[in-house]
């Protein structure tokens, strides 16, 4: 009896007011987020020069001014373009080579066993450690940072593709063999389609790594790009410029991730539908 009478006011209350803060509507959350951001900027503003020296944290207005300057004089777009170019080119080169080699080794037992120890060697190596070598080989320009981005992408895409090929359901392959499918028909009609979700997963996770490769490459040896910009700013003790550069890099990263989300929706209708 008690439980029944209690439940009425409970449900009525639920309708008028969210039970916990986690339930607030999207609009309300947006307002909270804006408020939190403004509060953060305000605390930064107050702390800068009082609690912490502005040598370390600069000042929000200085950073904003620096960003505005860069946008207006074209600095930002020029360097962002250089970084984007290296990221995209590195992504394309790395993913094409990774895909091809992943399929090849996945399909060829001999080659995969032959190359296994060598791949393990390169896999264990932190890729940015190869930067000095790339600078020697490709010089002080786009070449070395594209190479670094490609290498990071290559390993991720290669490994995913290879695993995908090895994981193809044996029974699907047998089914095709019983239908008199040739080796190439099995590759094109069964193995490649069955591997696409692995390949796409590899491509997706490798985009941020392409950006990492490009930025690290630019910081080490370049005279262009957002990585170069923050490296230079750091060398000149220009904290505001470092922060401005970081904001620009984060923004570029967000744009790239959004592009992946958009491309994701277009592929694999058979999976999208089943969800």
Partner 1 sequence: MRARRAAFIALEGLRKTFSRENEHVEAVASVDLEIEREEIVALIGPSGCGKSTLLHVIAGLYEPTAGRVFYGGAEVTSVNTAVGYMTQKETLLPWRTVQDNIALPLEITGVSKKERFQRAQHFIDQMGLSGFERRYPSELSGGMRKRAALARMLLYSPETLLLDEPFGALDAQLKIAMHELLLGLYEKHRQTIVLVTHDLMEAVTLADRVIVLTNRPARVTFMQHIPLPRPRDVHNIRFTNKFKELYDVVWERLRSQYLEERL
Which parts of this chain interact with partner 1 (CB under 8 A)?
169, 171-172, 174-181, 185, 189-190, 193-194, 196, 268-271, 273-274
> Minimum distance from CB of 265 to partner 1 (Å)?
16
> Minimum distance from CB of 96 to partner 1 (Å)?
22
Q: Between 33 and 185, name the residue whose CB sits nearer to partner 1.
A: 185
Q: Between 191 and 207, name the residue whose CB sits nearer to partner 1.
A: 191
Q: Is 58 left (phi over 0), alpha (psi -120 to 50) or beta?
A: left
Answer for the pair 168, 199: CB distance below 8 angstroms, yes or no.
Answer: no
- Cα pseudo-dihedral 234, 239, 241, 245, rounded to 10: 70
Q: What is the DSSP string of 39-63?
A: HHHHHHHHHBTTTB-HHHH--HHHH
Q: Between 136 and 179, name the residue whose CB sits nearer to partner 1.
A: 179
Long-range contacts: 116-119, Cβ < 8 Å, 24+? Answer: none
Other CB atoms within 10 Å distance of the CB of residue 176: 17
- Phi then psi dihedrals of residue 187, to 5 deg: -60, -50
> Minimum distance from CB of 160 to partner 1 (Å)?
17
Beta-sheet strands, E only, within the chain: none
Q: Between 19 and 180, name the residue whose CB sits nearer to partner 1.
A: 180
> Minimum distance from CB of 23 to partner 1 (Å)?
33
> Minimum distance from CB of 170 to partner 1 (Å)?
9
Q: Between 103 and 154, name the residue whose CB sits nearer to partner 1.
A: 103
């Amino acid at each position: 009896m008690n439980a029944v009478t209690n439940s009425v006011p409970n449900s009525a209350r639920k309708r008028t007011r969210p039970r916990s803060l986690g339930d607030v509507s999207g609009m309300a959350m947006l307002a909270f987020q804006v408020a939190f951001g403004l509060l953060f900027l305000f605390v930064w503003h107050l702390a800068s020069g009082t609690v912490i020296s502005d040598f370390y944290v600069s000042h929000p207005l200085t950073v904003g001014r620096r960003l505005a300057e860069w946008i207006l004089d074209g600095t930002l777009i020029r360097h962002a373009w250089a970084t984007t170019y290296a990221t995209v080119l590195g992504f394309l080169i790395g993913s094409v080579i990774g895909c091809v080699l992943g399929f090849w080794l996945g399909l060829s037992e001999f080659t995969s066993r032959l190359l296994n120890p060598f791949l393990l060697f390169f896999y264990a190596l932190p890729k940015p450690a190869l930067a000095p070598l790339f600078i020697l080989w490709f010089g002080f320009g786009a070449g070395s940072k594209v190479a670094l981005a490609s290498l990071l992408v290559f390993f991720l895409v290669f490994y995913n593709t290879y695993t995908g090929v090895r994981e193809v359901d044996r029974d699907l392959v047998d089914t095709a063999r019983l239908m008199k499918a040739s080796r190439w028909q099995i590759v094109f009609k069964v193995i490649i389609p069955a591997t696409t979700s692995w390949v796409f997963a590899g491509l997706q996770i490798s985009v941020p790594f392409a950006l990492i490769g490009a930025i690290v490459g630019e910081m080490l040896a370049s005279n262009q790009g957002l990585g170069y910009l923050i490296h230079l700013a750091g060398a000149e003790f220009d904290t505001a410029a470092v922060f401005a550069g970081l904001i620009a890099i984060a923004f570029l990263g967000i744009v790239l991730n959004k592009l992946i989300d958009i491309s994701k929706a277009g592929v694999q209708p058979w999976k999208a539908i089943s969800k």
